[in-house]
């Protein structure tokens, strides 16, 4: 979700305003995801290296996470979204931790989409602590940057990676639909010869193709 700061700076707004607009983009994308066949969606909300940002920006982000969790819990329950948070918890404030716990419990029955928010997340740290998840199918980075920035390093071993120039606050459900269409047209080879080409038509008929766990 890169580009919040630039989105705000281009409008002479404080960076926190970009993060707020970024939270609206999160809602748009979460609404669209199940309809596109996405079953698990992981969003990089705060990296362990983001603690080095100015205190005011960090505080604004933590307040935004707390507020958004609180405000969106009911919608998540209604829409069948199970929300969990990945990353370290030992450096988060008590109020945010309570919001995370409450939201995780309240949404635990959600079966349409598993939304994972990465907060105080470091791919290297999760590898060294043995806390890795299922393989990533599609990784989208917005904001024109072409690097992984310590996100899901282990899980992205065979991810299809899409670098998207659009700034995150401008990202829409249509952008996500285009990304998924691009992914479905990729020839995933996993080091082999790529015998099976995954397309919209064929994906359901190739049950043994690896890496299809996050996208139906």
Using CB under 6 A as the binding criterion, the count of chain residues that bind ligand FPP stands at 21
> Is residue 191 classed as helix, strand or coil in its secondary structure?
coil
- Single residue of 3, 110, 123, 211 touching ligand FPP by CB under 6 A: 3
List, in order, residues 6 or more apart from 161 with CB less than 8 Å away: 139, 140, 141, 148
2 sits near ligand FPP (criterion: CB under 6 A): yes
Site for ligand FPP in 10-49 (CB under 6 A): 19, 22-23, 26, 43, 45-46
Cα 118 to the center of its chain, rounded Å? 7
- Single residue of 32, 68, 103, 126 touching ligand FPP by CB under 6 A: 68
- Quick one: tokens of 193? 């010869």
151 sits near ligand FPP (criterion: CB under 6 A): no
**Which residue, 99 or 126, has its beta carbon nearer to ligand FPP?**
99
- Single residue of 83, 113, 117, 215 touching ligand FPP by CB under 6 A: 117
Q: In whole angstroms, how close is the CB of 213 to ligand FPP at the nearest point?
A: 22
Residue 2 annotated to the active site: yes
> Is residue 153 classed as helix, strand or coil in its secondary structure?
coil
> Is residue 45 classed as helix, strand or coil in its secondary structure?
strand
Binding mask 81-110 for ligand FPP (x = CB under 6 A): ------------------------------
**Which residue, 68 or 126, has its beta carbon nearer to ligand FPP?**
68
143 sits near ligand FPP (criterion: CB under 6 A): yes
What are the C-alpha distances in Å from 145 to residues 66, 77, 109, 127, 167?
A: 27, 34, 36, 23, 10
50 sits near ligand FPP (criterion: CB under 6 A): yes
- The rounded distance, in Å, linking the Cα atoms of 26 and 42 is 11
- The rounded distance, in Å, linking the Cα atoms of 26 and 171 is 9
Instruction: Assess contact for 107 and 77: CB atoms under 8 A.
Output: yes
Catalytic residue among 2, 120, 135, 175: 2
Beta bridge partners of 47: 121
Which residues contact ligand FPP (rule: CB under 6 A)? Answer: 1-6, 19, 22-23, 26, 43, 45-46, 50, 61, 64-65, 68, 117, 143, 168
Catalytic residues: 2, 50
């Amino acid at each position: 979700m890169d580009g919040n700061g630039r989105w705000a700076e281009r409008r002479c707004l404080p960076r926190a305003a970009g993060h707020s607009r970024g939270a609206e983009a999160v809602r748009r994308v979460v609404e669209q995801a199940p309809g596109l066949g996405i079953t698990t969606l992981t969003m990089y909300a705060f990296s362990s290296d983001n603690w080095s940002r100015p205190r005011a920006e960090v505080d604004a982000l933590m307040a935004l996470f707390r507020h958004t969790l609180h405000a969106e819990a009911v919608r998540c329950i209604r829409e069948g979204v199970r929300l969990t948070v990945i990353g370290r918890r030992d450096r988060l404030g008590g109020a945010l931790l309570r919001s995370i716990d409450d939201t995780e419990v309240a949404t635990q029955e959600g079966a349409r989409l598993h939304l994972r928010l990465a907060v105080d997340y470091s791919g290297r740290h999760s590898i060294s602590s043995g806390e890795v998840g299922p393989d990533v199918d599609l990784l989208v980075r917005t904001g024109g940057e072409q690097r992984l920035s310590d996100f899901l390093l282990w899980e992205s071993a065979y991810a299809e990676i899409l670098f998207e120039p659009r700034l995150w606050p401008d990202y829409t459900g249509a952008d996500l639909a285009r990304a998924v269409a691009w992914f479905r047209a990729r020839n995933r080879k996993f080091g082999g010869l790529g015998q099976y080409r995954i397309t919209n038509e064929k994906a359901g008929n190739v049950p043994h193709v690896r890496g299809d766990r996050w996208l139906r």
